[in-house]
Amino acid sequence: MKSLLVTGGAGFIGANFVQYWLNHYPYHKLVVLDALTYAGNLANLEAVKDHPNLTFVHGNILNTELVKELMQHHQTDTVVHFAAESHVDRSITGPDAFLETNIMGTHSLLKAAKQIWLDSGVDDHRFHHVSTDEVYGTLAENDPPFTEATAYAPNSPYAASKASSDHLVRAYQETYGLKTTISNCSNNYGSYHFPEKLIPLVITNILADKALPIYGDGKQVRDWLYVEDHARGIELVLSKGKIGENYNIGGHNEWHNIDIVKLICQLMNEAFATEPELAQRFPDALSVAKGSAESLITFVKDRPGHDRRYAIDAAKSRCELGYEPAESFETGIRKTLQWYLNNEEWWRSVMDGSYQGWVSQQYHA
Ligand code: NAD
Ligand code: TYD
């Protein structure tokens, strides 16, 4: 039986990973360590809260003693590290929390893993670090996509903090022999995505009849991946990835921001036209009820240091791990939209912080 410590498992990708893992490996022990910041919500794990092999611990990755205690107590053999401050806009207005959690927090986990595994001769272990394609910086329109050999050139405080954490993970592998892997993934979308990021923000703003802010000219490009495909990619890195390697995970799915916003508007217009009860359930959604969600599109001042284009070359993951995204964007975006229409209570409660949680173990971080 494997025993995983999943940091940040109450956030968007972490919670999807936890649900994926418990569905596929219900006999594995899974401990989630999460500080429950604004982005982490126990509501994201409600569906699996009674799983006998899931333990949720409310605590901070900066607390090295707590991490060591958990790893020892649960005989952790695998760390999957998602915990991070993840929103670029917040990293521009307040970078400190990004440096603390993303750099110092990752270092705290590495120190704990080194002591619990290496200093006690535990050979069978893996530290998997979840990173981002944003560490590679930005691409021009016709540049080839990022490969694992692309030099790091982070542009936002968020990306710089993730790049630093990647370097620390690498250093612990090279210097101490910690068995590490890193995945660098493109933009994710899907269920439980906190509505400050583009796709869920646009969906929930349409339902509130609020402006849909497009930064700059809206011609920036992102490569969107369905969140469950990210979980599958990490699963493959854990089972087939080589120690000390980075793996790019991406969706072969580049979109201009403005086009994705227009597509969501069009799909929402269609949903309201075919399901008349939506207009009753969402009485504020006046524009979409009239079939004109796109009238909410509003161009606003650009984000400082805004990366123009991200695109992933996932050939290494395809050749070495057999990785291929399973979900098409066509189906994934419809599923996502439907999920937000069906889960109004979730997005309202995480936005106003009113969810009444459950905790299986409470620690003071
Ligand atoms: P998120 O912001 O939704 O969730 C982050 C989680 O980490 C939250 O549950 C939060 O409570 C927790 N957390 C934050 N600080 C903590 C701390 N000090 N101690 C313990 N827990 C803490 O983020 P996400 O979008 O799910 O991203 C997860 C990981 O994937 C991050 O490392 C991010 O850099 C990476 N990533 C995200 C994307 C994306 O598109 N969202 C793409 C590529 C990589
Ligand atoms: P975001 O979801 O914040 O992800 P990231 O910055 O990590 O790629 O943003 C995706 C893209 O959408 C990015 O180019 C910024 C843009 N954007 C807007 O145009 N308006 C918005 O309100 C937000 C949140 C993002």
Q: What is the pLDDT of residues 220-238, one digit of tens each?
A: 999 999 999 999 999 999 9
Ligand 1 atom at shortest distance from the alpha carbon of 61: 19
Ligand 2: distance of its center to the CA of 197 in Å?
6
Nearest to 84 by CA among 185, 162, 168, 6: 162
39: Cβ–Cβ under 8 A, 6 or more apart, which residues?
Answer: 11, 12, 85, 86, 87, 194
Residue 152: pLDDT band (50, 70, 90) is: very high
Residue 118 has pLDDT above 60, yes or no: yes
Q: Which of 134, 166, 223, 307 is catalytic?
A: 134
Can you tell me the distance from the alpha carbon of 150 to that of 153, in angstroms, rounded to the nearest whole number?
Answer: 9
Six-digit token pair at 162? Answer: 């993730």
Can you tell me the distance from the alpha carbon of 146 to that of 329, in angstroms, rounded to the nearest whole number?
Answer: 20
Among the bound ligands, the one closest to the CA of 216 = 2
Six-digit token pair at 65? Answer: 């003693």
- Whether the full predicted model's pTM is greater than 0.95, yes or no, is yes
Residue 1 has pLDDT above 80, yes or no: no
Ligand 1: distance of its center to the CA of 162 in Å?
11
Q: Is 201 in the pocket of ligand 2 (CB under 6 A)?
A: yes
Can you tell me the distance from the alpha carbon of 159 to that of 203, in angstroms, rounded to the nearest whole number?
Answer: 26
**What per-residue confidence (pLDDT) applies to 181?**
98
Tell me what the pLDDT averaged over the chain comes to: 96
344 assigned to active site? no
Q: Which domains does the chain have, with CATH numbers?
A: 3-189+227-250+311-327+356-362 (3.40.50.720)
